[in-house]
């Protein structure tokens, strides 16, 4: 039997791709939040995003993670739409 060189905590390909999606959403969220004009709102949103991602960082259920990714994308789109309307 072949011995795996991967450490026991190595991610599967599916988990790796999902992790990259989550990190991308997080980065986009923070980039979008930096465009919020009011400093207090910006701080509130950044703290909220950070807390939400930290709270769910140990999630392992794939269905729950997919649902959270969808929700995060929805929140990001809403924020981007609100900022676009505010600029108009």
**Among 20, 17, 21, which residue's Cα sits nearest to residue 73?**
21
Span 27-79, pLDDT tens digits: 999 999 999 999 999 999 999 999 999 999 998 898 999 999 999 999 999 99
In the chain, where the domains are located: 13-87
Res 2: pLDDT:
60
R_g (Cα) of the chain, nearest Å: 17
């Amino acid at each position: 039997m072949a011995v795996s060189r991967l450490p026991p905590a190595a991610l599967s390909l599916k988990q790796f791709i999902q992790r990259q999606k989550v990190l991308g959403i997080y980065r986009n969220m923070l980039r979008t939040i930096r465009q919020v004009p009011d400093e207090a709102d910006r701080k509130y949103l950044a703290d909220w995003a950070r807390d939400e991602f930290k709270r769910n960082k140990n999630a392992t259920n794939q269905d729950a993670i997919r649902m959270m990714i969808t929700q995060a994308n929805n929140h990001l789109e809403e924020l981007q739409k609100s900022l676009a309307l505010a600029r108009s």
